[in-house]
Structure 1
């Protein structure tokens, strides 16, 4: 039987694990063929004291896609995954690519991680925000924003669980069948709530998880989350509860391993806190459920 195949379009770093470097290995471990297009190529993520590299332009993305399309490879993809895009020209070209891929292969699942910012701070331009909100969002099957990104996409200020539900319903109304708000600040000092909702016919199934906080700044976690959720939804035939539990439990194992490594060497710098993905191969393949999802009525 052929393996599922993902086209993953997001950032790349030479050293460390963000973007495609964070997503590819877990997807491969879980049985996916992965083809990658890099939106940027950097030496490392931007929190290091020095970051060098190149931005891939919309014209470059167009050329790469024309090569894939010209060789009649589009129908091979079961999934499309997108993450951080540096420029509006790249993002605008991406809209055309998603539209074309869905036209040629109506069964493809598009997972959009709308990387726009966090904690009230934008990483992208106003033009990119508009493209996400008005053009990419209606094309997405699955979307994985953080709280700030969900607020930007919906125009709702999130301060309670009721606000989360309102925001999720707005995202559903714009055509997204599965919404996962990966992290929110409406929990307590020790835990971060995560919320997910899936349209199943005329019904909505909704779940929340409480994720223990780890006192460190990790990078690449959103990219990892989107890749794991994509994989487990596919492998479980869209069992949302089980997919969330596998995704979050795997992430917590990786983050705790990373944190414990940094603690063991007495350094909590950017390099020491690069995700320990390779060391977590077995945990990615066969996660132990450590966090359970709770059903939300309504």
Structure 2
């Protein structure tokens, strides 16, 4: 495995949510990508005061016209031709999501080598938190043009119709997604660990002309965090590129980084009024974690699956 440190020509178009205060969506993805050497251009699918876990939040949901107006300004200046990567996450509006397809296809026509990572943000723990109408758009259109897909366990079940109760089910679901033409699929978090204090990530890639499957187990913390899936997707896109599509090292770097940031956030939260139960206290401490972003300690190891 070699690390590609030359990221001068890497530019990501990131389309996902924005919050004024806190870290989810683009606020969770842009800074880590920049720290790792990637230029990032961000388009926001929604603009909220905070994420919706707060007692009060306000903001706007962008639609298809909003997205295409902004993107058309990029196209008219030929700026869409510079994107080497596309990252998409949370969208709340069906028409907006439909137009993401047009944006990705336009970028890929201009630069056929552009890598598209789709984080199909729909829900978690058995509950959808976007309109049901978004599922068929993801399932029948968006994911079919993805190079990398990073669903959580619940989202993988929605996309495949396969109930995931064990590792075998997870691999079956991943293979079903491979069969749709998606080269790299990672279930970013699942409750498949035999130890209830841990979670599991399972990934599979056919991106380098050979099959690679890995599994990682990592500890839970006694708190609820937001923006972790968005951070996972951004870190995966960066490290998969920097390691020349080495799935094992990428996942180790990503999970190790995430765990370090969550531990730092938790340690901070428990010292504040309200402790780790406070939504405000558990906002990811990304700025304070720059060292961990740049140089993961890689203390969580993946095992290879056959």
TM-score (norm 2): 0.95
Give the whole-Å Cα distance in 1 for the aligned partners of 2:210 and 2:288: 40
Deviation for aligned residue 1:125 = 2.0
Say yes or no: does 1:117 pair with 2:123: yes
Match of residue 67, structure 2, among 50, 58, 61:
61
Aligned equivalent of 1:287: 296
Match of residue 254, structure 1, among 261, 272, 291:
261
Question: Secondary structure at 1:126's aligned position in 2?
Answer: coil
Say yes or no: does 1:194 pair with 2:188: no
Aligned equivalent of 2:91: 85
- Counterparts of 1:1-298 in structure 2, within 5 Å, are 2-187=8-193, 188-200=195-207, 203-266=210-273, 267-268=275-276, 269-297=278-306
Give the whole-Å Cα distance in 2 for the aligned partners of 1:212 and 1:290: 12
- Give a deviation string over 1:239-285, Cα, whole Å, max 9, x none: 11111010000000000000000112252201100000001001100
Contact 1:197–1:204 at 8 Å: present in 2 too? yes
Question: Secondary structure at 1:207's aligned position in 2?
Answer: strand
Contact 1:137–1:175 at 8 Å: present in 2 too? no
- What's the C-alpha RMSD, in Å, of the aligned pairs? 1.0
Give the whole-Å Cα distance in 2 for the aligned partners of 1:205 and 1:123: 32
TM-score (norm 1): 0.98
Greater mean alpha carbon deviation, residues 24-33 or residues 200-209: 200-209
Give the whole-Å Cα distance in 2 for the aligned partners of 1:211 and 1:82: 25
* Structure 2: stretches of 5+ with no match in the other structure: 1-5
Deviation for aligned residue 1:201 = 5.4
- Give the count of matched residue pairs: 297
Contact 2:208–2:245 at 8 Å: present in 1 too? no
Question: Secondary structure at 1:100's aligned position in 2?
Answer: helix
Question: Secondary structure at 1:264's aligned position in 2?
Answer: coil
Give the whole-Å Cα distance in 2 for the aligned partners of 1:292 and 1:185: 18
- Give a deviation string over 1:63-117, Cα, whole Å, max 9, x none: 0110011100112111000000010010011111111211221100000000011
Give the whole-Å Cα distance in 1 for the aligned partners of 2:56 and 2:114: 39
Greater mean alpha carbon deviation, residues 218-227 or residues 93-102: 93-102
Give the whole-Å Cα distance in 2 for the aligned partners of 1:81 and 1:113: 8
- Closer, same or farther: CA 215–204 of 1 in aligned 2, 3 Å: same
Aligned equivalent of 2:3: none
Give the whole-Å Cα distance in 1 for the aligned partners of 2:188 and 2:301: 15
Deviation for aligned residue 1:3 = 3.2
Give the whole-Å Cα distance in 2 for the aligned partners of 1:40 and 1:223: 14
Give the whole-Å Cα distance in 1 for the aligned partners of 2:17 and 2:253: 25
Give the whole-Å Cα distance in 1 for the aligned partners of 2:171 and 2:247: 16
